[in-house]
Structure 1
Amino acid sequence: MPMYDYTCTCGTTFERRVPSWSSPAPPCPDCGAATRRRPPSPAMHGRAAPPPAMSAAPKSWEGLNNGDRDTITHWRRAAEARRDFESRHPEHHTRKEAIAAHEGHFERNPLTYRELATRAATTGDANKAAHEATQARKTGER
């Protein structure tokens, strides 16, 4: 039995299963007046959302469930989907920077080579610059 959407002049809209497409329109359930069939609402299956950002991918062996094949395959496919998405929609492209350090104090806020070079420009020493960046991360600065 097909289901159709109906509307009444009193403003009521409703769905009703009828025996066939040629069945007469049922009366309005609110006022009893004659109704007319209206175009159905579109069915919304699934969703339209961009693939997860590359930053969401795991960056450690533990994040990949210690090398679980299914997890690796999932993230490889997600990365491919993201690359395809970014090639079609360049406004969603995320800029990547080379990471100098990503462990310890830099786990949540990685040290980029750009930041390291900027800090080293004043002292001329990359080791001192890395130490300054570590101290800044400890105090919550950037």
Structure 2
Amino acid sequence: MKKKCLLTAFLVGCSMSMSFAHGMLQKTVTDYMLKAKGYDNFHVGTIEGYPTFDTMLAKLKASGVKKVMLMPFMFVAGDHVNNDIAGDWKKELGDNGYEVSVLMEGLGQNPDIQDIFIEHARFAAKHKMVDIMDKKKQYAAGKD
């Protein structure tokens, strides 16, 4: 049975150079992670970069959804959440006839995400840093 998830998640891009990375992340999130779990009713947009608000809005209109939850897909819920997501984007979606709610939390407030950071910090504290060029030389010399 397919799960229905009435949400729109947003990635925040910083510049044109970030757009490609965010587009790739969107593809990873949409095509693999969420859809593999049975979620098919979500849209991803960026505040600066691609996919744009208009791109996301067109997909949202085609979906027939009328209730939207805006979820910041960023570590800290700061200016972009307060001004862009909970401000401009919420208003624009409301003006387009959507019932809009906003999750005012960044990913860093999620205990599961916090656990991942702690796990990575512990790993980094236990293992020495390896220079990538030295590692490449080892591989080239047949050493692992």
**Fold shared by both chains (TM-score > 0.5):** no
Structure with more of its chain in helix, by fraction:
2
- Under TM normalisation by the shorter chain, which class is it? under 0.3
With structure 2 as the length reference, what TM-score do the two structures score? Answer: 0.26
With structure 1 as the length reference, what TM-score do the two structures score? Answer: 0.27
Greater Cα radius of gyration, structure 1 or 2:
1
